[in-house]
Structure 1
Amino acid sequence: MTSRMLRPVRTGRHAQPRSAAFLKARLPLVTAAVVAAGLCAACGASSTQTVGSASPASAGQSAQASESATPSTAASTEGSPSAPASPSASASTAPSSSPTPSRARSSSAAPKPARTSAAPAPARIPGPGYDSSADAQKLIDAALSAAKADGRMVLLDFGANWCGNCKAADKVFAQSQTAAILGASYHLVKIDIGGNSSANSALLRKYSPSGGSYKMPVLIVVDSSGKVRTDTHATGNPALTAEGINAFLRKWAS
């Protein structure tokens, strides 16, 4: 009985030193494990912060820094004359040099007004009869000057107020068709040779030098330089009708 009681006591004596030795042997391992765990915890926090997003304070500082840098960058881009514009901006702001298809079609379809040169006003046609007091030379000179300006011919009509054939010719000259031909192509000068005007008789001999007896009216066509183109004293008068005189005027109009 005594031995049974002492056995546990002996066992307890031996157990205490054993547990203490065990603890002494384990303590360095436990300490190392705790230190390692602390180091791992510290390293894990710093690596998470480094790899992940920045802390609120550092993120705010970075945002402020980027905001402060953005205006200066934009200002330097806008202020620099050599900064190229983006393709979309240049395309939207560049003016279109070619017309749109609809405008091109409308402009090509619209006919251009034809240029028309205004025809010269008809020349003045003197009334029937012959003015014995008129200065025939001045009338001829004025008609030649007008003919140089407008390209018409000059028709010299030598006659007398008592001449029946001259009156017949005057009636034809007054008709609308004949008057239109005269006004468009001639400057008509009527010269009285039925009186005693030596000057007018000299003008007749100047433009009709063949002489002899003159059958009135004597119709002489001259150009702007005064050159005679035809003389009815030499060729004979046309029929003193609208058809005869109109054919005569059209023949020598150009």
Structure 2
Amino acid sequence: VTVSAPADLQRELDAAKARGQWVLVDYYADWCVSCKVMEKQVFGRADVQASLAGVHLLRLDVTADSPASRELLQRYQVPGPPSLIWVGPEGEERRARRITGEIDAGGFLRHWAQTRSQG
């Protein structure tokens, strides 16, 4: 689900929490070269997609320099894309597990397995 408004983000987070579902918040911008690399080389891979089965995937589009984009970045104090935020089934961010900057598929899979195993 692509989100560009803070109210939409909250609605999606609330829905995932009600379902007891993990959430991956992916900060993305059209001008972000690393975002495009990760889209193809990480999220485009079948093994990564399989590992994220059952995870509510939210792409926060902060392409535009707008009040809504700035509010989305401030929500988790994110400097900019690419940044990946994990939100547990109870609705709390796993702050120590966030990924800032580009990561390869193997690193992403290891990181997600560790995050999931820590609950």
TM-score using structure 2 length: 0.77
CA deviation vs aligned residue, 1:170-229 (integer Å, no higher than 9, x gap): 111121110011123x21100111212312321221222xx6xx2520111122443221
Q: Which of 189, 195, 199 is equivalent to 2:58?
A: 189
Does residue 223 (structure 1) correspond to residue 93 (structure 2)? The answer is no
Whole-angstrom distance in 2 between the partners of 1:167 and 1:191: 14
Partner of 2:113: 250
- Structure 2 counterparts to residues 1-254 of structure 1, below 5 A: 134-149=4-19, 151-171=20-40, 172-184=42-54, 186-208=55-77, 214-230=79-95, 231-232=98-99, 236-237=100-101, 240-253=103-116, 254=119
**Identity among equivalent pairs (%):** 28
Whole-angstrom distance in 1 between the partners of 2:59 and 2:73: 12
Q: Contact conserved, 1:144 with 1:224, CA < 8 A, in 2?
A: no
Distance 1:247 1:144, change over 3 A: farther
CA RMSD of aligned residues (A): 2.4
Whole-angstrom distance in 2 between the partners of 1:220 and 1:141: 17
Kindly indicate which of the two structures has a greater share of residues assigned to helix.
Answer: 1
Q: Contact conserved, 2:28 with 2:61, CA < 8 A, in 1?
A: yes
Q: Contact conserved, 2:35 with 2:82, CA < 8 A, in 1?
A: yes
Shift of 1:240: 2.2
Distance 1:203 1:215, change over 3 A: closer
CA deviation vs aligned residue, 1:4-46 (integer Å, no higher than 9, x gap): xxxxxxxxxxxxxxxxxxxxxxxxxxxxxxxxxxxxxxxxxxx
- Larger RCO, structures 1/2 (Cα 8 Å, 6+ apart): 2
Q: How many residues align?
A: 114
Q: Contact conserved, 1:156 with 1:219, CA < 8 A, in 2?
A: yes
Q: Contact conserved, 2:25 with 2:84, CA < 8 A, in 1?
A: yes
Q: Contact conserved, 2:60 with 2:72, CA < 8 A, in 1?
A: no
The structure that has the greater radius of gyration is 1
Q: Contact conserved, 1:159 with 1:191, CA < 8 A, in 2?
A: yes
